[in-house]
Each structure stands twice: as C-alpha cells, then as structure tokens.
Chain A
C-alpha cells in the first residue's frame, strides 16, 4: 500500500521534472528540474530494492554531476538574461519535430516493455542479495570486469585530455 503511494509520488515528480527540463526558460531552473527527476528515480530504485543503485543515482548524478552543471551555468549566466520570445518562435519548428520523435520513442519503449511483460509489476526481485553493495561489487569485478576496466581507461583518457587541452591555452 505505502509503496504504491510512494511510487506514484515519485513517478509523477520524475515526469514533472523531465517536462520542466524541456519547457522551462531559465537554465538554472531546468538544471533543478533535472535534479528533481534524478531524485525521483532514486526513490524508484529504492522501491525496486536496488539500494546501492538508488544511492549512486543521488550521490553521483544529483550530488556531483548536476552540481558541476549548476556551477558552470551560474558562472556563465552571471548578468546574462534568458533568451527572449522571438528566439523561441524561430525554434517552433524544432519543438514540433522533437515532440514527434519523442512520441515515437515513447511508443517504441512502451511496446518493447509490454512485449517483455514488464508492465504492471511494481515489485522488483525481492529479498536475497539483490541490489546490495556486495552483489553489485561481485558482478562488477567478475562478470563485467573487462567493460568496467575499459570504461575506467576511457575516463582516464578524458581526464588527461582535459588537462592537456587546458594547458595549451597558456
């Protein structure tokens, strides 16, 4: 009962946040909408007993990535006014096309979910070690070791790239 209530609150907030990201005008407001969506997703993960994933969603995405987004946005936005209406009108065409593609994507995702029989079940795999930090770690360092390490290398390359590119300016 309680989990159904929590699910609906989190689900509505997640969608509301997502809509806010594409409709709000002020970059800081859109960034905050995205944070709202991420927090709601975290709650949804908790409902599915994926505790570790829920905390990582909040810690990494809401707590670190979006803070950096806001950092850049507030830094660059200082004294800049949000885009005016005429600018918006020029993009009216795009809104329509984007909406159309969004709808197609939504139908496709829904179709594949219904096909897989995942619609209508709220409870995730219950009990056992599912979603715990131990099972997550074991999977990461045994079955998915190679992809995990490769991702780490890619990230390292990106970090070094940023340092090198940043240096050349001086």
Chain B
C-alpha cells in the first residue's frame, strides 16, 4: 500500500513540476526570443516580466469557450486531454536524480522504472499523436484537418529515425533500462561514440515536438494555426502545455541517453539534470529564432531519404563495433 501511495505522490509532484516548468518556459521563450530580435520582451509584471505567464494563464482561464457548431463535440473535447496526458505520462520513467534514501527506504526519483523504460516513452509519445489528429479532424475545419494530417505523417516518419538513433545507445549499453544506461556513462558520455546518433536524435526530436524549423503542422502562413485553429482558452493552452512538456521529455531523454543523465561533478545531480535539459530548451528557442520553416515535401524527403538511411547505417556500424569489441 505504501508503494502505491508513494507512486501517487511522486506522480503528483512530477506533474506539478512539469506544468510549472511549462509556465516558466513560456516566459523564458518570449524573453530569449526578444533578446534575439533586439527588443525587451515582456517586462511589465514582476521583475523582468517573470509574472507574465501567470497573467497569460489567467487570461486563458477566463476566455470564452467556443466550440464550432459542426465539430464532433465529444472528440473535440477529448483531443487536448489526450495530448496533455500523453505528454505528462511519458516523462514518468525518466530518472532525474539518483535514488533518495529516506526513512530507511530507497526511493527512485522516477515514478516507475520498468526495464523497458525507453520503449515506454516511445509508446506513450506515439499515443500523443491522437490528440493532434483527432483535434484536427473534430474541428471540422479544412485547415485544422490538414494540420492534423501533416503532423501525423511527420511524426510517424521521424519516429523511425528517432528509434534507430536510440538503438545505437541501447546496443552500446546492452540494456533498455534508463538507470543502467546512465550508470554505463559514468566515464564516457555516449555523445562521444554515438555522435552521429546524437545528431539524428536532435533533428528528430525537433520534428517530433513540431518545433521550428519542422513546425509544418501549425504553419501560420498556409494553415492558420493548424490543428488547434478552432481551440480557445484552456483547451488551446493544453495543446501548448503538451508541446512544451514534450520538449522537456525529449530533452530529458537526450540528456539520459547521450549526456550521462544526472551525472556531474560538484553540483547536486538534480541540478545537473536541470542544467542539461535547460541547455536543450535554449537550443529549441535558438532554432526558432534562427531558422526558417522547411517546405513540406522537403521535410518528408529529408526524413525518409537522408535521416532514415543514415540512422540505419549508424545502427549497423554500432552493432558491428559491439560485436567485434566482444
């Protein structure tokens, strides 16, 4: 019984932390983007405008809910929940620190640590696509539908390359358990032997989270706002939360797989994890400020004709290396 309570408490803490991180991220993104574009950004509420996300949140809560008359009501209401739930659940298996020792018990920092941890993340993030395609379809709006379809095609295509990029790390570690993978990187981060896998992973992680330059599903100049065109208030906010929490999850996974997880000298491990994830988040914003959007056919061609073959070769090379080293 204590185990169940512990899991529930950890789950609540993680969910609240993730949502808080989302709030801070929205402020940080606007601030950093503003710096890139030589303007001050939000600066009215609190020091350096840090309370801006609270104001944004309040505004969205009190906004009028509009449901299109032609919409499929049940699915229209369900879709944002699917996206947000999948985003939060996927983070559950990422260890963001070494196990805690309190009251004579060893408590791991992640909520659940199945030895198939990494596959779990892929399975849950794959479910997140439903939120996007269903939201696009249920809105009964051609732009929404096109955005949803684009997103589905994009995520399915890039998922393959992402999975293959991760396979290299799994081969090197000889395990699918995230804690084991972190432990094996104590002396050498996997970014060194798996640099190619890391590059592929980073490209696909930007595509998987629908961020610039791969934000085709919400390309505003051709599709209004894509799948969430018809969403207002908190439901729209849930899509945004899902996007940012997904960014945190893929960054956390990148940290765990390639950058040694929470390992680091001097500072506490949780802080190291935060620093590494924050670096990826900054990278996301940097990309958004720098790169223009890809054309859709080029995006698909790049995914299938460049990323996938390179990822396959990388997996093959790693497999041969592991076999020879043994």
Question: A residues engaging B (CB < 8 A)?
Answer: 2, 26, 28-29, 32, 35, 39, 51-52, 55-56, 58-59, 62-64, 67-68, 70-71, 74-75, 77-78, 132-133
Residues on B with C-beta less than 8 A from A32 are 75, 134
Evaluate whether A59 and B119 lie within 8 angstroms (CB atoms) in the complex, with A64-B126, A67-B130, A78-B142 already known.
Answer: yes
- Nearest to A55 among chain B residues (CB) is B119
| A32 to B156 alpha-carbon distance, docked (Å) | 18
Judging by beta carbons under 8 Å apart, are A62 and B72 in contact? no
Evaluate whether A133 and B145 lie within 8 angstroms (CB atoms) in the complex, with A55-B119, A67-B129 already known.
Answer: no
Judging by beta carbons under 8 Å apart, are A58 and B123 in contact? yes
B149 on interface, CB distance cutoff 8 Å? yes
Q: What is the distance, in angstroms, from B229's C-beta to the closest C-beta of chain A?
A: 15
- Main secondary structure on chain B at its contact with chain A? helix
Contact partner of A67 (CB less than 8 A), chosen from B72, B123, B124, B156, is: B156
Per-residue CB contact flags for chain B residues 85-117 toward chain A (1 = under 8 Å, else 0) read 000000000000000000000000000001110
Judging by beta carbons under 8 Å apart, are B114 and A51 in contact? yes
Residues on A with C-beta less than 8 A from B122 are 59, 63
Per-residue CB contact flags for chain B residues 124-153 toward chain A (1 = under 8 Å, else 0) read 101101100110110000100100110011
Contact partner of A62 (CB less than 8 A), chosen from B126, B142, B145, is: B126
Q: What is the distance, in angstroms, from B73's C-beta to the closest C-beta of chain A?
A: 12
B5 on interface, CB distance cutoff 8 Å? no
Evaluate whether A71 and B152 lie within 8 angstroms (CB atoms) in the complex, with A55-B116, A55-B120, A58-B123 already known.
Answer: yes
| A58 to B72 alpha-carbon distance, docked (Å) | 25
B232 on interface, CB distance cutoff 8 Å? no
Q: What is the distance, in angstroms, from B157's C-beta to the closest C-beta of chain A?
A: 11
Question: B residues engaging A (CB < 8 A)?
Answer: 4, 72, 75, 114-116, 119-120, 122-124, 126-127, 129-130, 133-134, 136-137, 142, 145, 148-149, 152-153, 156, 159, 176
Residues on A with C-beta less than 8 A from B156 are 64, 67-68
| A147 to B133 alpha-carbon distance, docked (Å) | 35
Judging by beta carbons under 8 Å apart, are B4 and A2 in contact? yes
Interface centre among A32, A55, A78, A132 (most CB of B within 10 A): A55
Evaluate whether A67 and B137 lie within 8 angstroms (CB atoms) in the complex, with A51-B116, A55-B123, A133-B115 already known.
Answer: no
Judging by beta carbons under 8 Å apart, are B133 and A133 in contact? no
| A2 to B1 alpha-carbon distance, docked (Å) | 10
Judging by beta carbons under 8 Å apart, are A63 and B133 in contact? no
| A71 to B149 alpha-carbon distance, docked (Å) | 6
- Nearest to A132 among chain B residues (CB) is B115
Residues on A with C-beta less than 8 A from B119 are 52, 55-56, 59, 133
Q: Apart from A58-B123, A59-B119, what are 14 other A-B pairs with CB-CB below 8 Å? A: A28-B134, A55-B123, A63-B122, A64-B156, A64-B159, A67-B129, A67-B133, A68-B156, A70-B133, A70-B137, A71-B133, A71-B149, A71-B152, A74-B133
| A154 to B282 alpha-carbon distance, docked (Å) | 45
Contact partner of B137 (CB less than 8 A), chosen from A35, A74, A133, is: A74
Q: What is the distance, in angstroms, from B20's C-beta to the closest C-beta of chain A?
A: 28
Residues on A with C-beta less than 8 A from B136 are 74
Residues on B with C-beta less than 8 A from A74 are 133, 136-137, 145, 148-149
Contact partner of B145 (CB less than 8 A), chosen from A58, A59, A64, A78, is: A78
Q: What is the distance, in angstroms, from A81's C-beta to the closest C-beta of chain B?
A: 12
| A80 to B123 alpha-carbon distance, docked (Å) | 32
